[in-house]
Amino acid sequence: MMKALSIAWKDTVHVYRDIAGLAMMFIAPLVLATVLGAAFGSGDNFSIAAVRTVIVDQDKGAGAGTPAAGAMLSAALESPDLGDLLAITRLDSPEKARTAVDDGDAAAAVIIPAGLSSALASSVAQEANVEIYKDPALVVGPSIVAAVTESVVQTLNGSRAAAAAAARLAVSRGVTDTARLAGIASKAGTAFALQAQTDAQVTVEARNPVVEGSIEKRPNVASQVLIGMMLFFMLFGAATPAHSVLEEHRNGTLSRLFTTPTPRSIILSGKFLAVFVVVLVQAAILLLAGLLLFKADWGEPGPVVVLTVCSAIVAASLGLVTVSFAKTVGQAGAVSSAIFVFLGLLSGNFTGTIVTSGPFATIRRISPVGWLLEGWSKLLYGGSWGSIALPVLVALAFAVVFFGISVFFFRRRYA
């Protein structure tokens, strides 16, 4: 055991004498996390400025006692619940609204036609189009305006459907007077619209995924990106001491080491231990830096320690397996870099623990790094032991397989 520790100490000291390697291990992930965090909210939770929106309401209503549909739509867009999303300005003509968008003074314009209420109250099919005039260079802002507008329009269409249903019911009960039918339909449509306006205000609620048995947390973007960068650069950190095997083979010192009574298993254990210690220290320093620089809340200490150790084991096994079948240091560098970049793209390291869904959430599980990111994501969003159990077990299973592969290739080469 002491011989393995001596080998590990020698390789570890060698790594910390490499200034360029240290910059890659510590400075690069912090710089990237800072830059990306600033780009998506200055390191705080992702947020966007209120979308500058202009409204032109040309609708005057369909008659006395009937609320104007245009007024309902305008009121929904101006709702205090949407104040953080939409900054509303009223204009008096469609031309001014379009000009405001063309000049960049607004992201979108909602132009309500004059006949909207009449079309909804009419007993015959009429068409009225609410126009959303938007800046083609923008995506998010106009999409928010369109989503809110479409939601209200659906409520108005529901009001019309309620009116039609009430009229048909009245006819089935023997009511034939046109004026009376119109009154029944108008009252039903108005009641539906008012109820929808009262009980189903258009609101936007932002929520984070919460693991069962955990509390809801809102991690900032910088800390989420830092986790992705940390795991990505831990792979390169693991490759640096792993390359020492090939360097010693090239210099002939490894062959002389094999002539000693030290078993090959002890030698390989010492090499693996060196890689593990290097990436474990790297992870600990980056997590501490994230805590101090980005005010990151990594979660409960116990699960954080377990996941950190697991991340180091996976990185060490990957670092060894990528050099186990290479013949030269240059070849190992090219092969390991290609593998690490591929794993980074596959696992989503460049977006960190920012929540993903759909096919990508499944694809990233092909990689052990993807499982580690899933575990870290659950911790950042308030998870604990139960939430990281599966990611840790799967990642460790990958590590055992990778370590077995590296031992197989090393024994074949140095038999």
Is-contact 42 301, C-beta < 8 A? no
Q: Give the Å distances, CA to CA, from 305 to 310, 385, 387.
A: 9, 11, 14
Is-contact 133 101, C-beta < 8 A? yes
pLDDT tens digit at each of 415 positions of the chain: 677 788 777 778 878 887 877 888 888 888 887 776 666 554 444 455 788 999 999 987 655 445 677 887 888 888 887 887 889 999 999 999 999 999 999 999 999 988 777 776 655 556 778 899 998 888 778 888 888 888 777 766 665 555 566 666 666 777 666 666 556 555 555 554 454 444 444 444 444 444 444 455 667 778 888 898 999 999 988 887 777 777 777 777 777 777 777 777 787 788 888 889 999 999 999 999 999 988 888 989 999 999 999 999 999 999 888 877 777 777 878 888 888 989 888 888 876 666 555 677 788 889 999 999 999 989 988 888 999 999 999 999 999 999 888 888 877 776 6
Q: Calculate the CA dihedral of residues 407, 242, 248, 254 and round it to 10 degrees.
A: -30
Q: Give the Å distances, CA to CA, from 147 to 34, 57, 106, 142, 153.
A: 32, 18, 17, 9, 10
Is-contact 312 233, C-beta < 8 A? no
pLDDT of residue 106: 93
According to DSSP, the β-strands at 108-112 and 131-134 are antiparallel
Q: For residues 63-80, b (16+ Cβ closer than 10 Å) or e, as one string?
A: eeebbbbbbbbbbbbebe
pLDDT of residue 232: 92
Residues of the chain with CATH 3.40.1710: 51-199
Domain 51-199 has CATH 3.40.1710: yes
Is-contact 114 60, C-beta < 8 A? yes
State the amino acid at position 353 in one-letter form.
Answer: T
pLDDT of residue 209: 46
Is-contact 49 107, C-beta < 8 A? no
- Under DSSP, the state recorded for 263 is -
Q: Which two tokens stand for residue 391?
A: 């990611």
